[in-house]
């Protein structure tokens, strides 16, 4: 490809690509920060009113540091939607509309994060993974069965030799050192960063496919429409497409209980290793929630896939497409009749005809909303409350009934750690009884999962008294702390 053709291709990409459009925006820092904070998590949808209110609140603080105009959040969101960074959809569970990030928005924010905290360019784990993928592809695509068998036997011999080294305690078979283990964790999370954009891209492709199928139904005659025949036979055209089959295979893998349980066990094992103590809390949280993010994204796209499939079947079986075909024919006839007139008349020519317009504002019937008196019912008139004294201790007791007192639990753990290298949750409960019953036990386990360690091979018996005074116990995997907690 010549320099000229490449330059023209890059120019077209610069003009049409939404990700590059966002990266070239004048207020990129503000856009990336606000959208990342409110819509950056996978599958996040926020109602338009709530997002406008949240961004308006952010703009009040941002104007002190950035040269921003007096425009409102709604105006900015409208610009970002036209730039294909935001996607606005009708809300499914309530009246109104919602905002979510497009695939281009996720890609742009991910690029900025990688530029702010660049990954190591050539880690050992990445090179090993690349070499293994190339090697496996060469084996799987080799038509010569003898060469494939030779490669498989060589792989088997390598595995047998590795097993023998592990049994002998050969230093070459020792576990990964802390540096290389951290590199692999970084590579795993870097691959996972692309999942939100992938899910958004798949959803957008399903929307396009749904639109294409509806257009093909309108454009074809009854006797020539293969889409109509397949829908009437019960064929799910969206799920049976190439994109649908690919996504269904991924979704089935994520939903498989055995695969999911194995994945969670592997993550728990990684977080129990010694090297994981050097990982940041954000990295540990990302690893722990990785499978849940994949399940949430898969479930959301699956729901959209089912919704499109049902809508397409309903569109065909209810014969709504016939009405749309009539409307399409009338529009085409009108355009055909207007084409000859356009050669002799301009749209703004004076035709010598005066038309008195109605003084009533014209609008769509779809804008009409039925009056519901219940929406304007404010309830019984509020009476004036008499002044009373409030017991501060009672307020604290009410708060403790609805919230776990993590401050108290943190103090208990730090006191129990005094003079010892480690302390288990069971030992903390022995020294400091659960004042909130089960809530205190759950709070301690949550703190141990975040700031402590879990031994999957050991068991502890937890004993506590509930709020009702009845003694209870439970046997769980050993959760313990090796240092004090600093919140």
Quote the pTM value.
0.50
What mean pLDDT value characterizes the chain? 78
Please tell me the predicted confidence (pLDDT) of residue 18: 85
Q: Which residues contact 190 (CB under 8 A, 6 or more apart)?
A: 114, 119
**370-429 residue pLDDT tens:** 888 877 777 777 777 777 776 666 766 666 666 788 888 889 998 988 888 889 999 999
Dump pLDDT digits (tens) for 117-129. 766 555 555 566 6
Segment 223-236 shows an average pLDDT of 54
Say how far apart CA 415 and CA 428 lie, in whole Å: 9
- Furthest-apart CA pair in the chain: how many Å? 103
Query: Which tens digits make up the pLDDT trace of 267-326?
Result: 788 788 777 777 788 778 877 877 777 777 777 777 777 777 777 777 777 777 788 888
**DSSP element (H, E) containing 325:** helix 320-342
Q: What is the DSSP letter of 460?
A: E
CA distance 247 to 202: 8
328 vs 172: which has the higher pLDDT: 328
- Residue 172's pLDDT band, with cuts at 50, 70 and 90, is low
Give 456 or 92, the one with higher predicted confidence: 456
Q: Rounded to whole angstroms, how far apart are CA atoms 124 and 91?
A: 46
Distance CA 291, CA 298 (A): 10
pLDDT digits (tens, 9 = 90+) for 62-82: 888 888 888 888 989 998 998
Which of the four pLDDT bands, split at 50, 70 and 90, describes residue 152?
confident
Burial status of residue 17 (CB atoms within 10 A of its CB: 0-12, 13-18, 19 or more): middle
């Amino acid at each position: 490809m010549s320099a000229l053709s490449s330059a023209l291709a890059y120019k077209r990409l610069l003009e049409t690509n939404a990700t590059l459009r966002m990266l070239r925006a004048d207020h990129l820092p503000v856009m990336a920060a606000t959208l990342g904070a409110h819509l950056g998590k996978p599958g996040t949808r926020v109602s338009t009113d709530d997002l406008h209110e949240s961004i308006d609140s952010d703009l009040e603080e941002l104007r002190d540091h950035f040269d921003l105009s007096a425009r409102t959040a709604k105006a900015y969101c409208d610009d970002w939607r036209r730039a294909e960074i935001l996607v606005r959809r009708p809300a499914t569970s309530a009246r109104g509309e919602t905002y979510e990030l497009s695939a281009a928005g996720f890609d742009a924010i991910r690029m900025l994060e990688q530029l702010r905290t660049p990954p190591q360019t050539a880690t050992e784990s990445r090179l090993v993974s690349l070499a293994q993928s190339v090697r496996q592809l060469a084996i799987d695509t080799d038509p010569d069965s003898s060469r494939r068998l030779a490669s498989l036997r060589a792989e088997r011999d390598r595995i047998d030799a590795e097993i023998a080294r592990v049994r002998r305690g050969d230093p070459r078979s020792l576990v990964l050192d802390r540096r290389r283990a951290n590199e692999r964790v970084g590579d795993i999370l870097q691959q996972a960063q692309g999942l939100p954009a992938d899910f958004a891209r798949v959803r957008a492709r399903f929307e396009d496919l749904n639109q294409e199928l509806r257009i093909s139904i309108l454009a074809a005659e009854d006797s020539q429409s293969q889409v109509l025949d397949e829908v009437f036979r019960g064929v799910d055209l969206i799920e049976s497409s190439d994109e649908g089959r690919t996504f269904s295979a991924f979704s089935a893998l994520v939903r498989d209980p055995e695969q999911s349980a194995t994945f969670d066990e592997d993550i728990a094992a990684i977080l129990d290793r010694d090297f994981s103590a050097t990982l940041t809390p954000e990295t540990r949280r990302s690893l722990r929630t990785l499978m849940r993010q994949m399940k949430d994204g898969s479930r959301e796209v699956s729901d959209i896939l089912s919704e499109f499939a049902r809508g397409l079947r309903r569109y065909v079986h209810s014969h709504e497409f016939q009405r749309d075909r009539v409307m399409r024919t009338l529009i085409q006839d009108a355009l055909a009749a207007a084409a000859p007139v356009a050669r002799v008349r301009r749209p703004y020519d004076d035709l010598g005809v005066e038309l008195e317009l109605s003084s009533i504002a014209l609008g769509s019937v779809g804008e009409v909303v039925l009056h519901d008196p219940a929406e304007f019912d404010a309830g019984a008139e509020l009476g004036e409350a008499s002044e009373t004294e409030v017991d501060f201790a009672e307020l604290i007791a009410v708060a403790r009934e609805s919230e776990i007192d993590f401050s108290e639990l943190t103090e208990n753990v730090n006191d129990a750690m005094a003079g010892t290298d480690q302390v288990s949750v069971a030992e903390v409960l022995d020294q400091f009884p659960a004042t909130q019953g089960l809530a205190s036990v759950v709070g301690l386990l949550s703190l141990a999962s975040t700031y402590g360690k879990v031994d999957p091979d050991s068991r502890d018996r937890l004993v506590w008294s509930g709020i009702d005074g009845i003694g209870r116990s439970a046997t769980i995997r050993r959760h313990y702390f090796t240092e004090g907690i600093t919140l």
